[in-house]
Structure 1
Amino acid sequence: MTSNYQDFVPLKAIPFMEFLINEHNFTLKIVNKRATKHGDFRSMPDGKFQITVNNNLNKHQFLLTLVHEIAHHVTHQKFGRVQPHGKEWKAIFQHLMLPFLNPDIYPRAILPYLAQYLKNAKASTDADVKLSLALKGNIAETGKNFIFAISFGSLFIFKDTMYKRGNKRRTRYECLNMVNKKVYLFNQNVEVKSYEH
């Protein structure tokens, strides 16, 4: 049983996706947004396998997340227990993503960042700031701003806590937590709410 994923991926990706889903035996569930992850892969108690992907992702994020999780499944089948995002997974993820690296599937504005990311993929696409912003079309969620759009010294809300934006380091922003007065580093693709007095 597989949820109707066709509505969640770019049209031209469907034939490749169908092949991957038919080739590898797992259940796909499309679930409500989770704050800590875009998707996951797990082995169920009955010996079957399940992949979940969040329903709030745009088609390009959804496709990348689904292939990321299928790569976990294939790695598990081929190698058993290995490092979750180790060299085996990275090689399989690259291999599975190749048919999708195509301007009919990913816009030309995203492709260079995606190709760069796949050279040494991280556990989360959000860890790659340039790719994360490109996948979102440089548009933050409604009612939010990217941290780089918050002006220096301004207050903002992140996870129900107020912060004050400080200096930019090389790639991240120093932000003062107004409750515990500690400074935290924020990647520039973090989405926050402006604080209105």
Structure 2
Amino acid sequence: MNNILIKYIPESSIDMVLYLIEQNNFNLKIVNQRQTKHGDFRQLPNGKFQITVNNNLNQYQFLLTLIHEIAHHITHQKFGRVQAHGKEWKTVFQHLMLPFLKPEIYPKNILPHLANYLKNPKASTDSDAKLSLALRNFEADKGKEFIFSLPVNSLFLFRDVVYKKGNHRRTRIECVSMNNNKVYLFNQNVEVELLKI
């Protein structure tokens, strides 16, 4: 397991992660990228527990996602069926993440955003635009751009639909679908393909 983890998480976090894996009985499966989630936790039909994490995440995203999912597992063991990202999970997640909040593991440009996010963690780290951008080192995937960086009225492609960028709200951006003329709200850190016309 050690040899596998070194490819995916910061080296200085490996001992703590191995400890968490040994203390909690689950299978860790590293899977191909999924569009809708970075990881998940589930009980398999045979009664065993499995955590999956996407293989395309950088080491800081991977570590955060893995701890997020381990928190689901521990919450399930301690409290049974509770709200997926409710107060029980938040408390467990905060408790598990605290030892990882140090500059030997997370770079100084990520730590303040991570600490702020952990005050009230949400279901997805992508819902916190500042943390999401810091985790990705402010670099979009090849051939894509972050929606916040596009000029107003730009046309862009997202999941095979063309949109026109509109006004910024407090945390989201209004975009009009060219398919049905409806307004949709996008997170600032969504990666899209700019259409050059």
| Counterpart in the other structure of 1:57 | 57
Return 5+ residue gaps in structure 1 as ranges: none
Shift, 1:3, TM fit: 8.9
Q: Does the 8 A contact of 1:163 with 1:177 survive in 2?
A: yes
Give, in whole Å, the separation in 2 of the partners of 1:136 and 1:173. 20
RMSD, aligned CA: 1.3
| Counterpart in the other structure of 1:84 | 84
Deviation per CA, 1:19-50: give whole Å up to 9, x if none.
11111110000000000000000011111100
| Counterpart in the other structure of 1:145 | 145
- Look up the equivalent residue of 2:189 and give its one-letter code: N
Give, in whole Å, the separation in 1 of the partners of 2:55 and 2:62. 8
Q: How do residues 87-102 of structure 1 correspond to structure 2 at under 5 angstroms?
A: 87-102=87-102
| Counterpart in the other structure of 1:17 | 17
TM-score by length of structure 1 reads 0.97
Deviation per CA, 1:75-103: give whole Å up to 9, x if none.
11111111111111111101111111010
Correspondence 1:30 to 2:23: no
- Look up the equivalent residue of 1:9 and give its one-letter code: I
- Look up the equivalent residue of 1:49 and give its one-letter code: F
**What SS does the aligned partner of 1:137 have?**
coil
Return 5+ residue gaps in structure 2 as ranges: none
**What SS does the aligned partner of 1:193 have?**
strand
| Counterpart in the other structure of 1:154 | 154
Off by >6 Å, runs of 4+ in structure 1 = none
TM-score by length of structure 2 reads 0.97
Shift, 1:168, TM fit: 1.3
